[in-house]
């Protein structure tokens, strides 16, 4: 054992502490998260070491964390029954910085106090964050398995040095006592402490206990105060659902948890829960909601995925964990590798995060593929047709088509959403439901995630000149292509009705060639990134001179050439008359009934995109 010794902090610690004690913090309260997380880590370590040495549990098998305060002494104490610290460990672990995350943080310090204070607020600095609120910290500990006399007391006021001494400590584990600064007395309040614990540590799987308080009237009914009852009660839910084995979790529990984290009233369409092992270890529990939130179109929003590190909450909407086109996904990712004090900036750069992002993206695409496989097509199920829009449905200009559209929508809404959602077993309609809500967002992936472009393209569905339902995949289309057809034809328009009645479709209708109808605002942009599917080029019927190639017979080609010849003088006059308005005027074979139509030059901006940009004021 050691006798009372004064030791200097490692230079980096001293620097860090100076910063901690000399800066103002926007979120002081993170100190509690850090200390509870250390307590929880210490319990995890004991549990792990005790696998081989059950004697380490001594006569106290209970792993728990207790948070207590003494309003008179102005102290706050966090006690755990974890592995504890030996005297040497206290010197090593509480006198130096071993964490790579903190070192990285230190390297980013600029020396500008204000900027650095902001940085530190984002990071949290582990054990030393106690000095944000305390002007003195006392740690008393004994390592599990060591005799009571080999306990240690570590004391520091967060200046250049700390003091260690041996103490007798019968009880295993660690107590960290914070002697609070005058401006931190708000933490001497049970309600305040509970609310911080609920915010950051609810999912710690150990019980976090606080002593129950009761209101007691003063003498002669004068005044009164909360007094401790000596009874301890858990203040966290200890419900880290994702850290439990799948087989122990019911569908209902999964759904409840989803509702809890998403604030959604409806059940999700699907979820996926996995523990990923290997170079990067993490647990993912990801959900596909049944309904789009109001702010789905805000691309800055970030995915609804919460990041935890070893069951400690780190941040909401961690956008680095999933690409933006999967921002509808909700859930939890719990990393075993990231430092607790990771910031959004660091997340962007971390290799672990990159691996998590790739793994999670694949997982979500896999879930969607699964739903798509189980989706019955409209003809199989005889279900109504679905109208996909981006929320703002434009009234259809053509009365006949307009009516069809309205009927389609009614048919769709005819299935009560809640009922369908409650029935997780029935997978047959889920993909259509997903697609109606989120299909347009998914398309952004074509431009955003080149590595998965093929998989995304396979997940896309469209209406077509022969199908009202938004259910035609590129593969379906290809399987129905006419002999001699060598392109996938599509048209973009504001509404289904406008697309279907476009004069540019006439020749395709006549020849019985299917054309995909694209009416989402993102289609035009997204298709810039998809020039072919499975070896077959995509061709807009509204661009350039549509070459029907082998689909056109000799007589038709000849007739077209002759017409071009005989109409030459007329074309010249039209070109002259439309000089400022049209680049070119030519004879076409694409029209059957209409006398003329506008087309865009190959490689030119489509009329729809041009309109979109104009609307956006460009």
Pick from 500, 475, 489: which is nearest to 539 by CA? 489
**Residues between 37 and 56 with contacts to Mg ion, criterion CB under 5 A:** 38
Q: Which stretch binds ligand ADP (CB under 6 A): 54-62, 78-86, 398-406, 608-616?
A: 78-86
470 binds, among Mg ion, ligand ADP, none (CB under 5 to 8 A by kind): none
Out of 174, 375, 471, 539, the only residue in the binding site for ligand ADP (CB under 6 A) is 174
84 or 331: whose CB is closer to ligand ADP? 84
- 192's tokens: 């305040």
Out of 31, 82, 91, 142, the only residue in the binding site for ligand ADP (CB under 6 A) is 82
Judged by CB under 5 A, does residue 339 bind Mg ion? no
Judged by CB under 5 A, does residue 174 bind Mg ion? no
Q: Please work out the total of residues on this chain that contact ligand ADP, with binding judged by CB under 6 A.
A: 17
289 binds, among Mg ion, ligand ADP, none (CB under 5 to 8 A by kind): none
Alpha-carbon gap, residue 316 to 331, rounded angstroms: 10
174 binds, among Mg ion, ligand ADP, none (CB under 5 to 8 A by kind): ligand ADP
Alpha-carbon gap, residue 284 to 329, rounded angstroms: 12
Out of 126, 331, 389, 429, the only residue in the binding site for Mg ion (CB under 5 A) is 126
- Helices 113-123 and 100-107 cross at an angle (nearest 10°) of 160
Distances (CA, A) of 272 to 93, 97, 296, 321: 38, 38, 21, 15
Distances (CA, A) of 496 to 499, 502, 593: 5, 10, 20
Judged by CB under 5 A, does residue 375 bind Mg ion? no
127 or 462: whose CB is closer to ligand ADP? 127
* Shortest distance (Å) from residue 126 CB to Mg ion: 4
* Shortest distance (Å) from residue 34 CB to ligand ADP: 6
State the binding string over 98-117 for ligand ADP (x if CB under 6 A, else -).
Answer: -x------------------
Judged by CB under 6 A, does residue 126 bind ligand ADP? yes
* Shortest distance (Å) from residue 93 CB to ligand ADP: 4
What is the DSSP secondary-structure string of 338-390? S-TT--HHHHHH-HHHHHHHHHHHHHHHHHHHHHHHHPPPHHHHTPPP----S
Residue found by looking up tokens 């964990």 in the block: 321
**Residues between 381 and 420 with contacts to ligand ADP, criterion CB under 6 A:** none
Judged by CB under 6 A, does residue 334 bind ligand ADP? no
Q: Please work out the total of residues on this chain that contact Mg ion, with binding judged by CB under 5 A.
A: 2
129 or 471: whose CB is closer to ligand ADP? 129
340 or 496: whose CB is closer to ligand ADP? 340
**Type and span of the H or E element at 166:** strand 161-167
* Shortest distance (Å) from residue 311 CB to ligand ADP: 13
302 binds, among ligand ADP, Mg ion, none (CB under 5 to 8 A by kind): none
State the binding string over 453-492 for ligand ADP (x if CB under 6 A, else -).
Answer: ----------------------------------------
Q: Which stretch binds ligand ADP (CB under 6 A): 75-83, 269-277, 306-314, 448-456?
A: 75-83
Out of 17, 66, 68, 80, the only residue in the binding site for ligand ADP (CB under 6 A) is 80
| CB closest to ligand ADP, residue no | 126
* Shortest distance (Å) from residue 307 CB to Mg ion: 16
**Phi/psi-derived region of residue 395, left when phi > 0, alpha when psi is between -120 and 50, beta in every other case:** beta
- 164's tokens: 């260690």
Question: What's the 3-state SS for 511-579?
Answer: CCCCCEEECCCCHHHHHCCCCEECCEEEEECCECCCCCHHHCCHHHHHHHHHHHHHCHHHHHHHHHHCC
Alpha-carbon gap, residue 269 to 428, rounded angstroms: 11
Out of 93, 118, 390, 607, the only residue in the binding site for ligand ADP (CB under 6 A) is 93
Distances (CA, A) of 294 to 291, 304, 381, 421: 9, 13, 30, 19
130 or 389: whose CB is closer to Mg ion? 130
* Shortest distance (Å) from residue 475 CB to Mg ion: 51
491 binds, among Mg ion, ligand ADP, none (CB under 5 to 8 A by kind): none
34 or 449: whose CB is closer to ligand ADP? 34
* Shortest distance (Å) from residue 386 CB to Mg ion: 50
Q: Which residues in 203-335 belong to E strands, given as ranges?
A: 208-217, 224-234, 270-276, 282-288, 304-309, 312-315, 330-335
**Type and span of the H or E element at 241:** none
Q: Which stretch binds ligand ADP (CB under 6 A): 12-20, 37-45, 280-288, 542-550?
A: 37-45
- 555's tokens: 């007589």
What is the DSSP secondary-structure string of 56-115? GGTT-----EEEEEETTTTEEEEEE-SS---HHHHHHHTTS---HHHHHHHHT--S-HHH
Judged by CB under 6 A, does residue 421 bind ligand ADP? no
Judged by CB under 6 A, does residue 119 bind ligand ADP? no
* Shortest distance (Å) from residue 446 CB to ligand ADP: 41
Q: Which stretch binds Mg ion (CB under 5 A): 35-43, 222-230, 436-444, 580-588?
A: 35-43
Rounded to 5°, the CA angle 424-477-484 comes to: 165
Residue 47's contacts (CB-CB under 8 Å, 6 or more residues apart) are 63
Alpha-carbon gap, residue 74 to 92, rounded angstroms: 28
Judged by CB under 6 A, does residue 38 bind ligand ADP? yes
CA atoms within 13 A on the CB side of 214: 7
Q: What is the CA radius of gyration of the chain?
A: 33
Q: Which stretch binds Mg ion (CB under 5 A): 124-132, 154-162, 482-490, 556-564?
A: 124-132
Q: Give the sign of the dihedral formed by CA 417, CA 421, CA 422, CA 424.
A: positive
| Residues of this chain that bind Mg ion (CB under 5 A) | 38, 126
| Residues of this chain that bind ligand ADP (CB under 6 A) | 34, 38-39, 41-42, 80, 82-85, 93-94, 99, 126-127, 174, 340
């Amino acid at each position: 054992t050691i006798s009372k010794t004064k030791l200097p902090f490692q230079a980096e610690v001293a620097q860090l502490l100076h910063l901690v004690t000399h800066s103002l913090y926007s979120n002081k309260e993170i100190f509690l998260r850090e200390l509870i997380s250390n307590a929880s880590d210490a319990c995890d370590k004991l549990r792990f070491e005790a696998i081989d040495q059950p004697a380490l549990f001594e006569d106290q098998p209970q792993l728990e964390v207790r948070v207590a305060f003494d309003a008179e002494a102005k102290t706050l104490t966090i006690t755990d029954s974890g592995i504890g610290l030996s005297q040497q460990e206290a010197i090593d672990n509480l006198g130096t910085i071993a964490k790579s995350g903190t070192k990285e943080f230190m390297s980013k310090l600029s020396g500008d106090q204000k900027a650095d204070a902001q940085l530190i607020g984002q990071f949290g600095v582990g054990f030393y964050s106690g000095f944000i609120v305390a002007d003195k910290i006392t740690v008393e500990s004994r390592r599990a398995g060591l005799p009571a006399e080999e306990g240690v007391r570590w004391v520091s006021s967060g200046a250049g040095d700390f003091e260690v001494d041996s103490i007798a400590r019968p009880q295993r584990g660690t107590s960290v006592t914070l002697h609070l600064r005058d401006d931190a007395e708000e933490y001497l309040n049970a309600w305040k402490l509970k609310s911080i614990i609920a915010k950051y540590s609810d999912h710690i799987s150990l019980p976090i206990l606080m002593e129950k308080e009761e209101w007691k009237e003063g003498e002669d009914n004068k005044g009164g105060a909360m007094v401790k009852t000596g009874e301890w009660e858990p203040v966290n839910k200890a419900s880290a659902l994702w850290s439990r084995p799948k087989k122990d979790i019911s569908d209902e529990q999964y759904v409840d948890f989803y509702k809890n984290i998403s604030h959604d009233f409806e059940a999700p369409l699907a979820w996926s829960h996995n523990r990923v092992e290997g170079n990067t270890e993490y647990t993912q529990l990801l959900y596909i909601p049944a309904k789009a939130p109001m702010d789905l179109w805000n691309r800055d929003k970030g995915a609804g995925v919460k990041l935890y590190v070893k069951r400690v909450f780190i941040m909401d909407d961690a956008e680095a964990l999933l690409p933006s086109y999967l921002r509808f996904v909700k859930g939890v990712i719990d990393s075993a590798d990231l430092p607790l004090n990771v910031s959004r900036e660091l997340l962007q750069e971390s290799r672990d995060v990159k691996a998590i992002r790739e793994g999670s993206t694949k997982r979500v695409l896999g879930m969607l593929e699964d739903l798509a496989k189980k989706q019955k097509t409209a003809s199989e199920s005889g279900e109504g047709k679905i109208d996909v829009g981006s929320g703002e449905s434009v009234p259809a200009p053509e009365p006949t088509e307009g009516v069809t559209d309205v009927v389609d929508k009614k048919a769709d809404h005819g299935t009560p959403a809640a009922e369908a959602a409650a029935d997780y077993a029935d997978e047959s309609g889920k993909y259509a439901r997903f697609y109606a809500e989120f299909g347009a967002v998914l398309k952004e992936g074509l431009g955003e995630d080149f590595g998965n472009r093929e998989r995304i393209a396979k997940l896309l569905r469209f209406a077509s000149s022969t199908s009202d339902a938004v259910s035609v995949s590129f593969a379906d289309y290809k399987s129905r292509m006419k002999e001699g057809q060598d392109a996938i034809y599509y048209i973009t328009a504001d509404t289904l009705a406008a697309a279907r009645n476009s004069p540019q479709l006439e020749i395709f209708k006549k020849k019985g060639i299917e054309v995909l109808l694209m009416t989402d605002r993102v289609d035009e942009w997204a298709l810039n990134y998809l020039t072919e599917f499975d070896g077959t080029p995509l061709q807009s019927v509204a661009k350039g001179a549509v070459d029907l190639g082998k689909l056109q017979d000799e007589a038709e080609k000849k007739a077209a050439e002759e017409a071009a010849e005989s109409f030459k003088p007329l074309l010249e006059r039209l070109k002259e008359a439309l000089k400022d308005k049209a680049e070119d005027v030519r004879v076409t074979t694409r029209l059957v009934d209409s006398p003329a139509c506008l087309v865009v030059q190959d490689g030119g901006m489509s009329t729809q995109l041009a309109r979109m940009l104009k609307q956006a004021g460009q």
